[in-house]
């Protein structure tokens, strides 16, 4: 999600406590409408992402991953840094929804 862009006349990215949020109801950036980032020690940071629409580049659901599912949020301008989590199991894995939490 590009920085410096306005969404509904407000910055798309905004500070939120110790983290950041991204909000764009139009979903014009690959279908992403909301992101929440909260830093923390290993295993304690949080990433939340809500996306919708045909422009969302995701694999077909349900996911098939016997060894867990790896989710990454990568920066285009700094490939050395990313947010990543490996979910050993999902809470929901259907044709329309994937939801998981770390233990």
Given a cut of 80, is residue 2 above it in pLDDT? Answer: no
What is the per-residue burial (b if ≥16 Cβ within 10 Å, else e) of 23-62?
Answer: bbeebebebbbebebeeeeeeeeeeeeebeeeeeeeeeee
Residues facing 72 on adjacent strands: 84
User: How confident is the model at residue 41, as a pLDDT?
Assistant: 74
The yes-or-no verdict on residue 23 having pLDDT over 90 is yes
Residue range 43-88, pLDDT digits in tens? 677 778 888 877 777 788 898 866 788 888 777 777 777 777 888 8
67: Cβ–Cβ under 8 A, 6 or more apart, which residues? none
Instruction: Note the pLDDT of residue 84.
Output: 79
Rounded to an integer, the average pLDDT of 36-46 is 77
Give the long-range contacts of residues 43-51, CB within 8 A, separation 24 or more: 43/102, 45/83, 46/19, 47/71, 47/73, 47/83, 47/85, 49/73, 51/27
The structure tokens listed for 98 are 């994937």
């Amino acid at each position: 999600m590009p920085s410096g862009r306005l969404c509904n006349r407000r910055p798309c990215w905004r500070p939120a406590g110790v983290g950041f949020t991204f909000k764009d109801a139009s979903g014009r950036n690959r279908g992403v409408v909301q992101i929440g980032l909260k830093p923390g020690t290993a295993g304690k940071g949080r990433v939340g992402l809500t996306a919708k629409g045909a422009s969302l580049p995701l694999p077909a659901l349900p996911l098939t991953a016997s060894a867990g599912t790896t989710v990454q949020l990568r920066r285009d301008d700094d490939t050395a840094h990313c947010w990543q989590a490996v979910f050993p199991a999902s809470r929901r894995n259907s044709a329309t929804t994937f939801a998981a939490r770390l233990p």
